[in-house]
Amino acid sequence: MKQFFKIAFATVFGIFLSWIIFIFLIVGISSSMSGGEEKVTISENSVLELDLSVSISDKIEDDPFAMFDALNSDYKKPLDLLTILQSIEKAKDDSNIKGIAITSGLISTGSAQLTEIREKLLEFKKSGKFIVSYSDIYTQKAYWLSTVSDTIFMNPVGALEFKGLAAEITFYKNFQDKYGIKFDVIRHGKFKSAVEPFLANKMSDANRLQTSKLLNSIWGTYLKDISISRNISVEKLNEIADSRIANLPVDAEEVGLIDRLAYEDEFITSIKKALGQDKNDKLELVEIHKYKKVKPENKKEFTRDKIAVLYAEGEIVYIDGQSSKSIKPRNMAKAITQIREDKNIKGVVMRVNSPGGSALSSDLIWRELELLKKEKPFVVSFGNVAASGGYYIACGADKIYAQENTITGSIGVFGMLPNAEEAARNMGITSEVVSTNKHSFDFSLIKGASPEIKELILKGVEGIYKTFVDRVAEGRKMKFVDVDAIGQGRVWAGKDAIDIGLVDELGGLQDAISYVAKTIELDNYRVVSYPEKEDEFEKIMKSLSTEARQSLLKLEIGEEAYKIYSNYSRFKSQEGAQMIMPYSLSIN
């Protein structure tokens, strides 16, 4: 009887929850259909508020469950990079906007995206308008961004993180040995750092060297920018980081990292004073979600001419994986075909923010892009990371842009076979195989793979690696031997990638768009995004089956344990040979 009531309650609750979701969806759809575009006006003496503590992506997809998030008072709507950049640019020429207030000290977005925002803010300053920043707590990236400000304010009892960069890599070798569940790694012979976490319990000297060079390159960019903005030498900044003497607000002010210690109300009062307002006047802080709806004062006439931005964000997969953000060859092929056949699209920028993934999918996308570039100018902009398969799909572009701190390269291939033979034997589990031919049976979780099968797979991996190097050599107009020398899985920072020929120029997404426009002599054009939005119903079903499951698991086992599970599960579910960054690099 007790079991009956449990089942009955679960059924009733499920029906009730389904009706609630259905009602919210109907209300949301009705609202979007009935409501026109909101007209927004900006008051005189307004200040644009830049709060980057929100989730920032290259492209934001409409979230069918955003209505539920909005019920949470702490929820902040995500932003896309282009909207942020365009808003800052629009504010520069807006007579009603007198300055920008950066109000986020906790930023989780990638360094390359922040570089584009920082450079756009430096352009804004040239207009003569002010930039100020305030936070209770400044993370290292947030502080680096905030150094563009004329004045940096900080809570007197807050904290500043300024310590340098560190990277943590998780190793699974001991775990595999302990439980008898492991991966058989099949890799190209010179691919030294590939899947190292599954082969060793510590970093190799070569891997440590390349990781150290990458971190120092990114940290060097931070120091250079802060040194120029704060007029403090790089040597002095490194001394401050080594000693950690700037953690407390009073010490941060004393060494010159912070201009003024103040509470938020004092920060607001100082802005009013700069605007010539009285202390009791209302300060008009305009958030970007509102400001993006404002039409620019110098808006150009409508034109049919377009430049397409093709977004490649997430892991490259052949079939849908666990991640809600992934790059699928069928979706990309459809988008590329639409771009190619649209006569009004005069040029294309592909924005890549991907660690790579499936080798097969990467090549399918590469082929479609090769067909595209025969008909239209094709330029690539790298975001935070464009490694392995992410670099593969981009290597044939007419021109490649990256930021100094973009993580790129990692030219290499590997395959992994799950093997629980030892664990099964320890638990008394065995299996038998019947086959028609000598190699009909490849491998299984319980039996593993035979040496002959491993050799066969190795041959395939080496063949894909050769194709990868050939593609890069052809696209970058380099010799095979030169690409091979800088390949083998090594990752590079963007500024170093220029020196070795993997990248053409430092710059961001807007630089790439401007280059395309200049190349085809377009003064007036529209920017359109691809791939187009997914079907809402399909997105809802996917979110229910994927996001909900991930959230529940994360809640059950904790954030750190979920990261380990996610990495292990991701490798387990990968199909075929992989062109992906050889390890999950967490930079702090």
Hey, which residues are catalytic here?
A: 192, 388
From residue 193, how far is each of 170, 389, 411, 504, 580 by CA, in Å?
13, 16, 11, 26, 12
The side-by-side arrangement of strands in the sheet containing 315-316 is: 182-187, 414-419, 578-580, 356-358, 315-316, 326-327
Residue ranges with strand state E in 71-129: 79-80, 97-102
- How is 39-50 classified by DSSP, letter by letter? P----TTEEEEE
Distance CA 339, CA 186 (A): 38
**Residue of 265, 277, 285, 279 lying closest to 97 (CA atoms):** 285
Do the bridges between strand 407-409 and strand 378-387 make them parallel or antiparallel, or are there none, so unpaired? parallel
The b-or-e profile of 58-96 (16+ CB within 10 A means b, else e) is: bbbbebbbeeeeeeeeeeeeebbbbebbbbbebbbebeb
Q: What φ, ψ does residue 225 adopt, rounded to 5°? A: -65, -45
> In this structure, how many other beta carbons lie within 10 angstroms of the beta carbon of residue 349?
27
From residue 157, how far is each of 64, 248, 249, 261 by CA, in Å?
40, 8, 7, 9
Distance CA 382, CA 354 (A): 9
User: Which position has the token pair 């083998």?
Assistant: 488
Do the bridges between strand 578-580 and strand 356-358 make them parallel or antiparallel, or are there none, so unpaired? antiparallel
Beta-bridged to residue 491, according to DSSP, are 409
User: Which position has the token pair 């690409």?
Assistant: 483
Maximum Cα interatomic distance, the chain, rounded to a whole number of Å:
89
Report the Cα–Cα distance between both ends of the chain, in Å, rounded: 54
Helical (H) or strand (E) element with 315: strand 315-316
Distance CA 4, CA 17 (A): 20
Task: Mention every residue, 6+ apart, whose C-beta is less than 8 A from residue 283.
Answer: 47, 268, 271, 272, 275, 277
Q: Are 582 and 410 in contact (CB under 8 A)?
A: yes
